[in-house]
Structure 1
Amino acid sequence: MKDGTSRNIWGSILFYLFIAVFVLVAMFPLLWVFKMSIVTRAELYASPPTILPQTFTTDSYATIFADATFQRALLNSTVIAGTTTVICLFLGSIAAYAIARLRFRFSSLFLTLILAIAFFPPVAIIAPLFLMWSAVNLNDTYWAMIIPNTVFSLPLTIWLLVAFFKELPKDLEEAAKVDGATTIQAFRKVIVPLAAPGVFTTAILTFIFAWNEFLFANTFSFTERTMPVTVAIPNFATVYTVNYGAQAAAAVVVTIPLVILVLFFQRRIVSGLTAGAVKG
């Protein structure tokens, strides 16, 4: 009995030790970037580098918040990511409801084809998309980034919402139709409110994807008027010098809102990713 208890204790110790090491390894790059953002330039370039910060300064944060380009980039990213999220939720909820509820041929194949878009390499369409946007004067506009972001975000949106809609009992819609509601009214007034946790989870994940997107932003944004933060951060470098402290501070400022969202709504995100895993 004692041997069994001892093994359980050592097993628990090893398990939590493994978790601690794993979290430390995963968090180390983020902690190192944060450390870069709060030390002086002399310590930043010290060799060998210091593991723990020896001096603290907020100069890097003062630099980025005094930069009008970075401030504009934060607004641009919010507009692009927010618009992408709204469009994805609108189109994705309708498509997901049709796949989950309406009976039509090849619905499973249709969902498979939608998910296949997520595996398509975006870099493969950069050149033709650039030429097409140039032809219709969309380059260096928000829509040049919102449209491809929406295309590549929709598969995740539809996949998550289909799982949530399938978990809701059909009796709710039938009861609404008995009361005179149409299919669209039942969807808008009954299904969407009940699937609010799933819709909210999908919105968070879609926003994070659009906020972090770099390829389309770097290709289709030419000026400060449309430049998002993912493109603005490398601009804290010149031909001769690189302000690593400012880049690190900008990376921290851009990442913190996403970290807060994920930590605050982690339970909903997990439930959204696992919805429908047991019951289809």
Structure 2
Amino acid sequence: MSATLHTPGMPGAGWLSGPALRWVAAGLVVFNGFFPALWILLTSLKSEAELVRKPLQYFPDKLTLANYLQAFTDQPLGLYLANSAAVALASTALSLLVSAMAAYAIARLNLRWRQTALTCIVASSMFPLVTLLVPIFETMRSLGLLNTYTALVLPYTVLNLPVCTLVLVSFFQSIPRDLENAAMIDGCTRLGALVRIVVPLAAPGVFTAGILAFVNAWDEFLLALSLNASAQMRTVPVGIALYQGEYSFPWPVISAALIVAIVPMAVLIALFQERVVGGLTQGGLKG
């Protein structure tokens, strides 16, 4: 008869479970998330000679900011940043405006096909962007909107609507109806109740949806490359792709440009971290 090995008091076995294991898992997640950004930062501070040196050199012998200066002189990086900011801000504002009204209608009005509408919203977000590229391009060309901000703002708004609407629906459903009814009894319209009562109370969800929409618009590459071929209308992702030459890959300069592009997102997340995390958590619990 075989004996079962059971050594609960074995030295060194406790770290494999409980808080220690959770800390190890959290450390691996943090390392996996931050290592690529740290590697890009270190590369941006190296010279070309240090980058190709053998054996591999993780830290530069002497920090240099020349790559950042070259990133702004080789390409109009400032213009690309301004274009990305304009497109991302406009599409985010429009996405929040439309999705707030759509989410309110789904959450509050007695719509007969409400569940079907939610299903269609989820299904619409599952189409790969590459399958939508040709119809979007033809639509923008027929409207004469190519090489304009509008050519990107409108598609980005449509692409962001599903996720923004789903986030806001869960928050709007958690707000008591009595608050809106009291406001409407006092003479407020339903739209006024949405703007003055519902949206302020759902601020974490609004911030969460806004951050998601802004990041998606800031990082998008395929539509920006296809719809705005003009050099004056390029966004950051497209502009960074132009740093490489036919036979050369200036990785330190490209890394410097990437760091410059990452900084606005890092600042945005740092400023609204608590609201975004709270919005994602509350939305998941209440939805």
Quick check: TM above 0.5?
Answer: yes
User: 1:212: Cα distance to partner?
Assistant: 0.5
- Match among 87, 93, 99 for residue 80 of structure 1: 87
* Larger displacement relative to structure 2 (128-137 or 40-49): 128-137
- Match among 233, 238, 246 for residue 239 of structure 1: 246
State whether residues 60 and 246 of structure 1, in contact with CA within 8 Å, keep that contact through their aligned partners in structure 2.
yes
Task: Name 2:114's counterpart in structure 1.
Answer: 107
Task: Name 1:218's counterpart in structure 2.
Answer: 225
User: 1:10: Cα distance to partner?
Assistant: 6.0
Task: Name 1:266's counterpart in structure 2.
Answer: 273
Describe the superposition over 1:104-136 as per-residue Cα deviations: whole angstroms up to 9, x where unpaired. Answer: 111111011112111111111212322232222
Structure 2, unaligned stretches of length 5 or more?
1-7
Matches within 5 A, 1:248-263: 248-263=255-270
Describe the superposition over 1:200-251 as per-residue Cα deviations: whole angstroms up to 9, x where unpaired. Answer: 2211111011001111001111122210001000111222322211110111
Structure 1, unaligned stretches of length 5 or more?
none
TM-score w.r.t. length of structure 1? 0.92
User: 1:9: Cα distance to partner?
Assistant: 5.9
CA distance in 2, matches of 1:229, 1:184: 37
Describe the superposition over 1:33-92 as per-residue Cα deviations: whole angstroms up to 9, x where unpaired. Answer: 111100111101223321222221101111123356211000000000000001001101
Residue 145 (structure 2) pairs with residue 170 (structure 1): no
CA distance in 2, matches of 1:4, 1:258: 47
State whether residues 183 and 193 of structure 2, in contact with CA within 8 Å, keep that contact through their aligned partners in structure 1.
yes
Matches within 5 A, 1:177-216: 177-216=184-223
Pair 1:276–1:20, CA change in 2 (3 A): closer
User: 1:276: Cα distance to partner?
Assistant: 4.3
User: 1:8: Cα distance to partner?
Assistant: 5.5
Task: Name 2:31's counterpart in structure 1.
Answer: 24
Counterpart amino acid of residue 138 in structure 1: L
Residue 22 (structure 2) pairs with residue 15 (structure 1): yes
Pair 1:174–1:72, CA change in 2 (3 A): same
Matches within 5 A, 1:38-57: 38-57=45-64
* Larger displacement relative to structure 2 (169-178 or 17-26): 17-26
Task: Name 1:60's counterpart in structure 2.
Answer: 67
Describe the superposition over 1:128-169 as per-residue Cα deviations: whole angstroms up to 9, x where unpaired. Answer: 322232222211111111111111100011011111111111
CA distance in 1, matches of 2:269, 2:200: 22
State whether residues 72 and 225 of structure 1, in contact with CA within 8 Å, keep that contact through their aligned partners in structure 2.
yes
State whether residues 171 and 286 of structure 2, in contact with CA within 8 Å, keep that contact through their aligned partners in structure 1.
no
User: 1:257: Cα distance to partner?
Assistant: 1.8
CA distance in 2, matches of 1:8, 1:265: 38
Counterpart amino acid of residue 196 in structure 1: A
CA RMSD of aligned residues (A): 2.1
State whether residues 170 and 286 of structure 2, in contact with CA within 8 Å, keep that contact through their aligned partners in structure 1.
no
Aligned residues: 279
Task: Name 2:5's counterpart in structure 1.
Answer: none
Residue 139 (structure 2) pairs with residue 132 (structure 1): yes
CA distance in 1, matches of 2:111, 2:9: 61
State whether residues 201 and 268 of structure 1, in contact with CA within 8 Å, keep that contact through their aligned partners in structure 2.
yes
Counterpart amino acid of residue 170 in structure 2: A
Pair 1:243–1:207, CA change in 2 (3 A): same
User: 1:3: Cα distance to partner?
Assistant: 4.6
User: 1:267: Cα distance to partner?
Assistant: 2.8
Identical amino acids, percent of aligned pairs:
36
